[in-house]
Amino acid sequence: MGRILLNLVEFLSEQMSHYNLTSKEHYLNAYQDSMEHPEKFWEEIAEENFVWRKKWENIVDWDFTKPEIKWFEGAKLNITENCIDRHLETKGDKTAILFEPNNPEDEAEHITYTQLSERVNKFANVLKDHGIKKGDRVCIYVPMIPELAISVLACARIGAVHSVVFAGFSATALATRINDCDCKMVITADGSYRGAKTIDLKGIVDEALKSCPITTDVLVVKRINSEVEMTEGRDKWVQPLLDSASPICPIEIIDAEDPLFILYTSGSTGSPKGMVHTTAGYMVYSAYTFKNIFQYQENDVYWCTADIGWITGHSYIVYGPLANGATSVMFEGVPSYPDCGRFWEIVEKHKVNQFYTAPTAIRALAKESDEFVNKYDLSSLKTLGSVGEPINEEAWNWYNEKIGKENCPIVDTWWQTETGGILISALPGITKCIPTFATLPFPGVQPALMDEDGKEITENNTNGRLCIKFPWPSMARTIWGNHTRYKETYFTAFANNYFTGDGAFRDENGNYRITGRVDDVIIVSGHNLGTAPIEDAINEHPLVAESAIVGFPHDIKGNALYGYITLKAGNYEADELKAEINALIAEKVGPIAKLNKIQFTNGLPKTRSGKIMRRILRKIACNESDQLGDISTLLNPECVEEVIEGAL
């Protein structure tokens, strides 16, 4: 009887708490409360589920015209106290990070909360010993090994601002990011494993640092035991330093709006944008969304296959899961090594309950024989997730039938580096999942569709440009060193709104389907690529006069890149030149940005003001040259025919 009563009380209090959404009605109630009383709504979530060293004076202060956004101002906290320390008493022996190495023959590593605490504290002390203080920027260029998560948390513990750079970026891309935010230190590894290959990370760092005068210290994790050059006075192996460091490092007390990290994302023009995320709002929102969008239960094993070099890994491998005391799998390898069954082997081996990946991976694996899937027991799976780009129906169906056995809801989560956390998604088992739709906004999120004149479209069953009308706690606060660009990129196109850069369709029930970018950003294999930096790289080739990049549909990558390139006069061999151009792109931007198709042109269609008409080039690349619309206002309409004739 007592037990039943206890369960009932637990049940009722769960129903009351908006932190743990358990039914459709509960979601609708929470959503309505979050619209009518946003401050009360977020205060309750923050108050009841996190550890604060001092409470806030204000829940939210915002002005999208400046723009200025502040959440929980006046509060003091440390995010690592929330992600680690507070779990030690009750969950010290629970696995926090479950590391699955590249080579399936090597043993997985279960890092408990107690061990994580010790390793993060030691690492934090090593940072301090090297003069890193609150507010200093530290670049982390480390592959998917435990030290990546540990160094991220070590920075957060002492209030240093981490800037993780995906360890697949080139030396030039790395140098740009180190210099943009003046990183004093770089943390890296001798090299990394990627399937059957190894990558010489330290060599890339050495190359990058030739143009980074600010960086005085490099800490190197030993991973592949390769021979690397160590620069005297600058480079140190980190393990001996960790061995002698104290396992106790008191937290630095951080203000709610102090920066937690910078993460770079491509823009449609110019250099990458260093999105700045601050501490309290980011913590509250990443934790709250994690709990509900994956419906994480105490003993679940959760796996997100992203790299911590992207926002998905920051929010949904590290901070969101750990703030909830979850077990988060971290996988070093690739889905195709040693064969295309690797993901499913890992699901079986660790009895993964929630699996979160990208459509590009799903499409690649769906092309392989079902044998790779059927060999494994996937019955532990409860929820599947998708992120990074629109998921096409075919891939959705395969994921649903072959992986979920039609028994696991698929959450198609829409968000961005800038948003810090998921804004639109179904809640598994609670709200309806609809193929190709991200579906409904999370509590606190107010989407709006705008027409081309900047007016809000209030009807349903329409397409529009996707904006968000009200701030949410984890939105990026600025672009590092360039607040004007932040304002221009996100708050200028539609007055008093955050503009996402995406187009969307809303159905009669208010479900959103993301239709893709409406700017010059192209998503290739889930990676966000701006056209401008790629064109800049191409234009550096001495034979190139000008170039334009567009995306076109690709079976596996979602989009692939098509380059139109006009050459200067001269002698060249076409295939050789194409290879040179792609090598240049790989060096300046990274191998992900290589062009799938290159068409040499005599000229590119332009507006009268001289702007290249990418809209027309996009149609041609997509085999839709019969739908070009009116081209009579072009400066040089005659070149269009020629481009169509030469199309690949």
Contacts to ligand WT7 by CB under 6 A? 265, 311-312, 387-390, 412-417, 438, 500-502, 514, 517, 523, 528
Which CB atom, from 112 or from 419, has the smaller least distance to ligand WT7?
Answer: 419
CB of 266 to ligand WT7, least distance (A): 8
Which CB atom, from 135 or from 591, has the smaller least distance to ligand WT7?
Answer: 591
CA pair distance 143, 221, nearest whole angstrom: 10
CB of 424 to ligand WT7, least distance (A): 8
Residues 6 or more apart from 213 whose CB is under 8 A from it? none
CB of 450 to ligand WT7, least distance (A): 15
The token pair at 535 is 């064109």
CB of 41 to ligand WT7, least distance (A): 24
Which CB atom, from 242 or from 411, has the smaller least distance to ligand WT7?
Answer: 411
Which CB atom, from 528 or from 582, has the smaller least distance to ligand WT7?
Answer: 528
Could you report how far apart the first and last alpha carbons of the chain are, in Å?
Answer: 74
Closest CA to 415 of 286, 509, 267: 286
Which CB atom, from 501 or from 590, has the smaller least distance to ligand WT7?
Answer: 501
CB of 388 to ligand WT7, least distance (A): 4
CB of 439 to ligand WT7, least distance (A): 10
Which CB atom, from 188 or from 357, has the smaller least distance to ligand WT7?
Answer: 357
Which CB atom, from 121 or from 354, has the smaller least distance to ligand WT7?
Answer: 354
Per DSSP, the chain holds a count of helices (H) and strands (E) of: 22, 31
Which CB atom, from 42 or from 414, has the smaller least distance to ligand WT7?
Answer: 414
CA pair distance 234, 238, nearest whole angstrom: 12
CB of 260 to ligand WT7, least distance (A): 17
Q: Dihedral sign, CA of 27, 30, 35, 41? A: negative
Give 138's strand partners.
162, 185
For residue 432, give the amino acid letter: K
Which CB atom, from 384 or from 514, has the smaller least distance to ligand WT7?
Answer: 514
CB of 518 to ligand WT7, least distance (A): 9
Residues in the chain: 648
CB of 411 to ligand WT7, least distance (A): 9
The token pair at 190 is 């001798």
CB of 147 to ligand WT7, least distance (A): 23
Which residue bears the tokens 């396992």? 247
Q: Where are the beta strands (DSSP E) in 222-297?
A: 235-237, 254-255, 259-265, 273-278
CB of 316 to ligand WT7, least distance (A): 9
Give 504's strand partners.
464, 514
Which CB atom, from 50 or from 356, has the smaller least distance to ligand WT7?
Answer: 356
Which CB atom, from 30 or from 504, has the smaller least distance to ligand WT7?
Answer: 504
Q: Name all contacts of 244-250 with Cβ < 8 Å and 24+ positions apart.
A: 245/122, 245/123, 245/125, 245/126, 245/129, 246/121, 246/122, 246/125, 247/117, 247/118, 247/121, 247/122, 248/121, 249/120, 249/121, 249/122, 249/124, 249/125, 249/128, 249/157, 249/158
CA pair distance 466, 448, nearest whole angstrom: 6
DSSP letters spanning 61-88:
EEETTTTEEEEEET-EE-HHHHHTGGGH
Element (H, E) at 330: strand 327-331
CA pair distance 264, 418, nearest whole angstrom: 9
Which CB atom, from 328 or from 528, has the smaller least distance to ligand WT7?
Answer: 528
Element (H, E) at 288: helix 279-293
Which CB atom, from 446 or from 500, has the smaller least distance to ligand WT7?
Answer: 500
Which CB atom, from 283 or from 524, has the smaller least distance to ligand WT7?
Answer: 524
Peptide bond into 441 cis (omega under 30): no
CA pair distance 155, 318, nearest whole angstrom: 13
Closest CA to 285 of 422, 427, 83, 440: 422
Closest CA to 68 of 647, 470, 379, 477: 477
Peptide bond into 67 cis (omega under 30): yes
CA distances, 337 to each of 25, 167, 295, 322, 347 (Å): 44, 18, 30, 28, 15
In this structure, the strands spanning 498-506 and 259-265 are unpaired
CB of 442 to ligand WT7, least distance (A): 13
CB of 526 to ligand WT7, least distance (A): 6
Question: Dihedrals φ, ψ of 288, to 5°?
Answer: -65, -45
Report the C-alpha dihedral over residues 83, 86, 89, 95, rounded to 10 degrees.
Answer: -10
CB of 267 to ligand WT7, least distance (A): 11
CA pair distance 597, 553, nearest whole angstrom: 12
CB of 384 to ligand WT7, least distance (A): 13
Residues 6 or more apart from 569 whose CB is under 8 A from it? none
Give 58's strand partners.
73
Which CB atom, from 300 or from 502, has the smaller least distance to ligand WT7?
Answer: 502
Give 448's strand partners.
467
